[in-house]
Structure 1
């Protein structure tokens, strides 16, 4: 794009490798606007990827503008013999010989003489001559490159015959991986490509090396300056870091001790709650007068029962005493009677 803008007459320096791609794309679109192109509807960041319809559209517009500005005209290409063509003559001759043998084996069926003459005149006419077949006399003044070939063969029949014969005439020559000639050709081609690309690549690499060395020197100088400037702060930081480590260890130990004390406190609190519950239960029992009233009622009941028992005991004793006295009297009376009887 930078080269096309230069051809279009706009001063646009080629971007470097470490330039910001967003800024470069923005400058590119501004340069394109100077040529009279309409502002694009997309953001310049679309061009940073290096592909897509946006990039192709910009390049296509610049190419058309440059061709129109330079009034470029297209000419017929001139073909020249390429390097290494002599090495392929043997393979091409073998392919042509095999193709001719295949054509002899699968020749077309015989036709009438008139048809053969028409085919020879219409199809196999030499395009490099002044005319085609029967029209050679009338086309003598026409350029051989612009000569028109006229065929009287039925296109459908010709296509059918071509489809029938073409697969049999096709020859596939397998490339031999051990052929030193092919390896030599590839080596020569690679050498030419490297020789062509090496000067530009060398310059780019030299510039890159110079930029890297300059950047590395700047980084080393800056690093040295920062180390010298912040040496005192680094020492203070190391001392503070050591102090922080000690304080952190002390804090961890104190935290563990506090956790142990908290667990012991919870255990003692549970025991205290149990003792309080027992004391509350006993206090409620002491403050309650119902058992005392019951005891007093029971004592009164016992006293009454004791009094009744004493009365009964007295009655029984009196009864027993009377009985014993009666028995004693009876015994005395019987004894007196027995004495009288003896007398």
Structure 2
């Protein structure tokens, strides 16, 4: 979630009310991820940690992946596997009676992504769900954005989604060809910055827009192997938001519903990573507090066709008519 996304998302999450109880809602004791093996990247803190713990409570065996870096992707200091963020989350899962394995691989490298998938297969004998969540920020206005800061953010968000998907899908393709019919799930993490843009986050917005498009392509390509692919655009209190928007991200002092708690996002991620979401694929969901919205992608808003090549000098009127017939775009986060 971008910094500029925080205030609007917090307002919407606190304003909206939950709908009626669905007629087909599962009983409270149902564990939707029972028996599944789930990999969560960036799971040492924040949203990833919440997802890993939620999957474990839902009955999954979890591979907790985290490189243990600082907010800007720099090294946060050496730590052994037991003391790393990933190791600490795995210990929490085990202490609660669950099963977890630790991965400190860099998922934005081919070798690291391959090792991540291999960890699930070697430790638990299978892989059912991949949750791509790893990422960090290096915010700058475009005129001040250095090439290294561009490359680093695009690398961790975009390659850090592509490479784990590639290696997981290769495994599921082999399973499908062997007649074992996977019921596999991928849940990617995009952002309001990627869907609408965010001032000061050109690198992050471009990477997250790429994640949304990559989700659509992966859903179309992997469906033949029994893989469903969706994405979430979360709004929550994390290292990326809690300092920049301390007032909006703060937990309520009166014990009221904490709309910005990362744990509010995880139920949707668990659902999308479970057997129960059969037929749901190629979609992007925004989630904040108790609010879930399906985000609609690019599609024609108005059309005109001359039947031949346009002359540039004749385009002003038809272009303005098209714009007048189209809804105004959602504002870029942080603009104006």
Q: TM-score, structure 2 length as denominator? A: 0.14
Structure with larger Rg: 1
Q: Which has the higher helix share?
A: 1
Q: TM-score, structure 1 length as denominator? A: 0.14
Tell me which of the two structures has the higher relative contact order, counting C-alpha pairs closer than 8 angstroms and 6 or more residues apart.
2
